Each structure stands twice: as structure tokens, then as C-alpha cells.
Structure 1
């Protein structure tokens, strides 16, 4: 739902859905979903909040991807960090 809201420009609603999804993913110990949602929150935070919050989500996403063993995604996020 967060992705759909983002696509149509309802960014605040998207953020609410992503945060709810993150809660559910944590409760289910679904690290892959947590990482994807955290990455989405980077984008939303850049749009509606702040660079500082975006960087916080980016770092959390990197930790999650590193725990998953996805170093490619970690490197991509590092490149994104340098652009922020």
C-alpha cells in the first residue's frame, strides 16, 4: 500500500503505511521486508521530511541488508548516501 501511495504522490499516507509495515515485519522477524521498507522510507523522508531522517533510514537499511548478506545493496545504499 505504501508503494501505491508513493506512486500517486500521497507521500504522507505512504509513510504511515511503510511505518505500519515495518512494525509488522519486525513482529514477524522478516528481515528482508524490513530492509525493503527502510529503503522506501529513505525516499519518502527525502520528499517530505529531512535529509537527516533519510540518512537514519539509510543506515538502518544498510544494517538490515548486511545482516541478510546482500553486500550489493549495501554498496548501492552507500552510493546513495554520498548523493544525499
Structure 2
């Protein structure tokens, strides 16, 4: 019986070693694939998240400014219409 346990122990050690090796190979392959993908994508003209968020914030600020200017223009146009002299009607 002692020899049976030795065989199972050796087999368990072998399987554990193989599993660890396979897991390490998987992690290495994933890291390599990520590095290659990052290198490939880095060559393209993509923007980073920070750059995108900065432009998005600037666009929102510009939109707010445009809305404020539009409101001021509406007020000024209303004042201009109110101050304009009334034209007499053509048939009167």
C-alpha cells in the first residue's frame, strides 16, 4: 500500500506542476497579446480617455456659452422691436 500512495503523490505533484506551468504560460500569453494589441492600437490615431473627457467638457462649456448668448440676443431683439417706430399700414 505504501507504494500506491507514492505513485499517487508523484502523480499529484506532476499534475500540480503542470497546472502551474500552464497557468503561467496563459498569463504570459495574455500579457504578450495585450502588449502587441497596445502597440498596434498605439500606432493608430485614437485619443485617450483623458483627452476625450477634456474635449467633452470644453464642448459642454461652449454649448452653455452659446445658450447664454442666444438668450441675450433674444432679449436685445425684443428690445429692438419694442423701440422700433411703428410703420403705418399701406392702405390707411
Q: Same fold (TM over 0.5)?
A: no
For Structure 1 versus Structure 2, the TM-score category normalised by the shorter chain is under 0.3
TM-score, length-scaled by structure 1: 0.26
Q: Which has the larger Rg?
A: 2
Q: Which has the higher contact order (CA 8 A, sep 6+)?
A: 1
TM-score, length-scaled by structure 2: 0.24
